[in-house]
Structures are given as structure tokens and as C-alpha cells.
Structure 1
Amino acid sequence: MSIGRMDLNLLKVFEAVYEDRNLLLVGKRLNLTPSAVSHALGRLRELVGDELFMRTGKGMVPTGRATAMAPGLRGSLRQIETLLGVEPFAPSTSRRRFVIAANDHLTEVLAVPLSRELQEVAPSVDLVIRPSTRLDLAEQIDLGRIDLAIGIFSQVPSRLNSQRLLSQGEMILMRKGHPASRRKLTLQDLTKYPLVTLSVGGQEEGAVGGFIVERGLARQSEMFDRHALEEALIGSRERPRMRITVPHALAIPALLRDTSMLSIVPASLAVALTKGKDLLRRKPPYPAGTSIVRAVWHGRDESDAGHVWLREMVLKTARAAEKELA
């Protein structure tokens, strides 16, 4: 392939097709007709000597060559744009799409208010939320298919950057009218009443010590401090009964309704779920640990103007959520 024949606009088409997997969406994103997108792909295929994308019933699927090219090309495009000062990021007029990975409770706590803010300051910016519980999260960040991952990470590899968003402890949820609702919770309550716990991956998915490690990135699998609870109950003959373990936080209110179960959840989730009229939140009767929610992104995006803006918006939203925990 001769680099002298390369039109850098073709790389923008490649990036858009790799991310959207749909030629109509790519055309809308780049303000091109479908035929122009197809023509650009044809030129790319000729230059590279590979099909790059195969048309299937599920959209445009990248070949192995395209998958190998994607991370480097995306990073190079960002560097070129930064060096040349092209396409400066203006939130009020940008049509850029950002992809954030987060679990359902952090989507409730952070993504919902972030969306409201974007409507005011960046009405044409699109936000896609993908589940952070997928086992290939680190790979998706490496490939450039996720701009920002939000969660609790005990280990972040050097190729990825991270930023603290908020710190939180744990709280215990119960329905209004629960037998223990009119007094301070005790350890005996946690063995007397069955528990609803939140877990997005267990030992069968490679979790060790409550974290799943993939490509150097260790993300939290259990959404409560099991070790702290077990330590508090040392010497007790009774053990807590984890009656129901769910992968989705938003199922918890329905499970607690009309039952005597309790649920140990992150404090930010407890605040969000008790804004309604059905649930109460209480401090745990033992010293539960504090966890730090972080944003994680690839080092190649560190200086990208749009990415910097996105991180600032997420941090602003997180700080507002943290104030509610005080």
C-alpha cells in the first residue's frame, strides 16, 4: 500500500463503520450518503488488500485485519487532530457520540443526571451506555469501542488512565413497615432476616476476592463487602442467608416489597432507591469498607479535547452525587 494514495478521510469512515457497524448510521454521523460510504470502504479495501468488513444480518462485521487495525488507527486519528488543531470540540454544536460502560446502578446514579446536563450544554452529543459487567470490558477499551468505563476497580494497568469520581460506603435497604424499621439494626438482624445481594460475576466467571481480572483490569464483581460482614459475625453461631443474589440492582425494590428481606447495597444506590416511598435505608451494624468509584480510559485519549470535556462532565456529576451521601 502506498501512503501517498491515502485520504485521511477514509480513516474517519473506517472508524465510524467499526464503531456503528451500520452504513446508514455511518452516513448520518459523517453527513455522507450511503453510496459515498460504500465507495470510501471500497477505496480502503483496495488500499489495504483486505475486505475489512463483511456484510451480515447483524450489520458490518470487522475482519481480523480490521480488528487489529482499529486501536492504532483510532489513537492516530486523535493525535493528528490534536496536533493539527482540526475539528476543535465545541459541546454546543458537536454531534459526537460517546460510549460509556457502567453497571445499572451507576447508570441510575451518574448517567441519568449526566444526560440531563448534556441536553442543556450539548444537545447534539449522543451518549451510549453499555454494560460494564461484560467479561471483555478491558478489550473493548483497548479496541476503542468504549470511551470511558465507570466502576470500582482494584487494579488498573499502566496503558489505562483513571480518575477518582466518588467514595461511598454501604447501606442496608428494607421496605417501609419492616419489623426492624423502628430501631437500630443489629448483627442479629442480618442473620434473622434473609438477604438480597447484588453480584455481577462469581467464581464461575473467574472472580477472586470479589474482583474479576481481565487484561490487567480488575473490576468489582460483588457489590457489597462480604469480608467485612463475615468478620463481624466471627464467633456467632448464626450465619447470614444470602437468599437471593441478583445481577441487576433495579430488581431489588420489587424483591424487598412485601417481604422481611434486607439488602446490602452501595450507599449511592441506597440513596437513589429511597427517593421513592417504598424503601428505607439504614447504616450497617458493622464497619463496612469504603469503595472508590473511578473512571477508566485508554491513554491514547488523554489529550483528546472531546474526551477531556466528557471526563469533566462525568466528574461534575459524580461530585454532585457524592454530596448526597454526606
Structure 2
Amino acid sequence: MNNAQFSGLDLNLLKVLMALLARRSVTAAASDLALSPSAVSHALNRLRAALDDPLFERRAGGLVPTAYAIDVGKRAGPALEQMRAAVAKTAFDASSAEREFVIAAGTYAASVLLPHALARIHAAAPGVTLRVKRIDAHYVDDVEQRRVDLALGVPKLTHRSVQWRPLLADGVAWAARRDHPFMREPVTAQMLAGARHVVLDRFQSLLSAESDAPSPLLDVGAQLSAAYSGVIASGRGLPPVAIVSDMGQAIDLVRSSDFVTLTMRKFALAQRLPDLAVLEPPHRGADIEIGAAYHPARLHDGGLSWLLDILAAQ
């Protein structure tokens, strides 16, 4: 494309291209852009003519971009973000702001990260509201597509299009009812081998992580193996009595039984349960960093930067 052709190019068409590359669907891109599907289709046809390339092919499952469309997207995306940042209003006055932030968070974040943060938010920004969604397996897509402002409590990310900020460090601990017949400090491998376990499915998957898994997850898995002191990880202990998806469920199960569970130390302590004992593992490993995942372009938003600072002030 020569200078004359470029000067006649409607740059709004590039926003349509980026939305189609992200969503691979005319309908979904139209929703993101607040346009009708027919307007997006018309813009795509104009862009095809301007760039002399089909850009997308319709196949089962959605639109498939051409190699040229992917290349244009890689080069145009950062430029569009710079243009957006250049005209963005970055100032954020917390005391007068009226705004809602959407956050993906699980049980851990709701118990450990958010309570103190909410108190600080209320004091500094009474007009700010947090809408908290339950975090799920698709949280990276939610952050990428900006369906959520932040995802909290996740291990450190290596994903190329999502950045990560550490907020606190925590370790693992054993939880059992306070008058358990044999679980007490110092915890030994023999105690663990004789106990029946309530296991978090996320911990179980990390213990069996593949060698090509992201290194931060392998670090977490190594700490879990150390906490189990080789008993559960090697299969020498009794099989788990239950496998649960929620840390709070595991705590509720063990505090009224003779079962035990491996959990996050700060989460267990935050429950403030008089009938729950929080015990150090036989071999304590390095702490696990808990943090927030966000889209890097969102840092131009003064409000989101302010929220990250609030969350980090633990």
C-alpha cells in the first residue's frame, strides 16, 4: 500500500479488524464494538478491498484469519493502543469517582485479598463498586477480551498478552480439627500417611504437572510435594476420602471430622475458626506468589492502576 492509498484508509476499519481477530466472529465483534453485525460485515468488505486480501475465511467454528490478516494485526495492534493511550483521560480522582470494576476471584481472594482492600476502597472512593465474578478456567480469555478488569489469586502468568502483578506471598499448611486424635505439630510423614485426606483438585493437578508446564506452576507443584513430604505424591498414603474444587469446602469437611487437608496458610487463618488447627508441613518450601492478571493496555486507565495499588497494599 502506497502513501496515497494509506491516506484514504479509514483507520476505524483497523479497529474492526482487531475485534475480528480477537473474537473470530462477526456477531461477537459487533457486540464488542457496539455495532450491528451488518455494519461489521460492511466494514470487513471495505477493508478487504482496501488491503486487497480476503483477510478471513469462514469455516466450521468461526472465521479463520489469513496469514496477512494476522501479520497486520500484530503490527497494527500496538499502534492502535498507543493512539488510544495518547487521547485517554488517565487522571482518576478516587474521592469523586463513580465507577464499577469487574473482578474475577475465587474463595481465596474473597477471604484474603478483598476484605482489607474493600475497606480501603470504601474509605478512599465511596462511589466505587466492585462486581466480583467467580474465576473459572477461561479467566485469561476474560482478561484478554476485557470482560473483566482483573483476575485475582492466580499463579504467576507467562501468557504473552496478559500481564501479572504480585500482590502477596503465601505458603501451604495442613488444616485439621483442633482436637484431632493424632495430627499435631510437628507434623510428620507418619501422621500424614495415617490420615485420610480431603484434596483440592487444583493441588492434585499441580502435583502431577507435566514437565513442559509453565515454570511458576511447577514451582507451586514442588512446594506441594514438599508439604506432602513424599507421602501422598508418591502414593504411599491412603487414597483421598474426597476431592473438592473449593478451599472453603475442604476446611468445612475437616473441621468436623478426622480428615485433614492441605490448604493455603493465610486462607485457613483468615477463617478464624476456633475448632480448626493450622499446622506447618514437615518441609516448608518457598512461598507462592498470589497476584492479579490484567491486560497491559489497561494500565493507561488511571482507575485500574489505582485499584492495583489498593490491592497491593496488604
TM tier, shorter chain? 0.5 to 0.7
CA shift digits 1:136-188 (9 cap, x unpaired):
x6xx79x95578676334x969998653310112222235764458x656324
Deviation at 1:25, TM superposition (A): 5.3
Letter in 2 for 1:80: M
* Cα distance between partner residues in 1 of 2:106 and 2:186: 28
In structure 1, stretches of 5+ residues that fail to align are 321-326
Q: Secondary structure at the match of 1:288?
A: coil
1:193 aligned residue (170, 192, 195):
195
Q: CA RMSD in A?
A: 4.9
Q: Which residue matches 1:252? A: 250
Q: Secondary structure at the match of 1:74?
A: helix
CA shift digits 1:271-309 (9 cap, x unpaired):
45x36x7972413153523222244667xx378412x64
Q: 1:132 to 1:69 in 2, by over 3 A?
A: farther
Q: 1:207 to 1:170 in 2, by over 3 A?
A: same
Q: Which residue matches 1:280? A: 276
* Cα distance between partner residues in 2 of 1:14 and 1:112: 41
2:210 aligned residue (189, 196, 206):
206
* Cα distance between partner residues in 2 of 1:114 and 1:64: 45
Q: Which residue matches 1:324? A: none
* Cα distance between partner residues in 2 of 1:115 and 1:74: 34
Counting aligned pairs with the same residue, the percent is: 20
* Cα distance between partner residues in 2 of 1:127 and 1:55: 36
1:313 aligned residue (279, 283, 307):
307
* Cα distance between partner residues in 1 of 2:138 and 2:150: 14
Is the counterpart of residue 230 in structure 1 residue 232 in structure 2? no
8 Å contact from structure 1 (residues 74, 144) kept in 2: no
8 Å contact from structure 1 (residues 13, 26) kept in 2: yes
Q: Which residue matches 1:171? A: 173
* Cα distance between partner residues in 2 of 1:68 and 1:255: 52
Q: Which residue matches 1:88? A: 89
Q: 1:61 to 1:126 in 2, by over 3 A?
A: farther
8 Å contact from structure 1 (residues 167, 291) kept in 2: yes
Q: 1:170 to 1:309 in 2, by over 3 A?
A: same
Q: Which residue matches 1:323? A: none
After superposition, residues 16-165 of structure 1 pair within 5 angstroms as: 16-20=19-23, 23=26, 26-48=29-51, 49-52=53-56, 54=58, 60-65=62-67, 66-67=69-70, 69-82=72-85, 85-89=86-90, 92=97, 105-106=108-109, 109-110=112-113, 131=136, 144=144, 151-153=154-156, 162-165=164-167
8 Å contact from structure 2 (residues 57, 65) kept in 1: yes
Deviation at 1:109, TM superposition (A): 4.8
Q: 1:144 to 1:47 in 2, by over 3 A?
A: farther
In structure 2, stretches of 5+ residues that fail to align are none
Q: 1:21 to 1:54 in 2, by over 3 A?
A: same
Is the counterpart of residue 292 in structure 1 residue 289 in structure 2? yes
* Cα distance between partner residues in 2 of 1:113 and 1:36: 46
* Matched residues, number: 290
Deviation at 1:262, TM superposition (A): 0.9
Q: 1:227 to 1:79 in 2, by over 3 A?
A: same
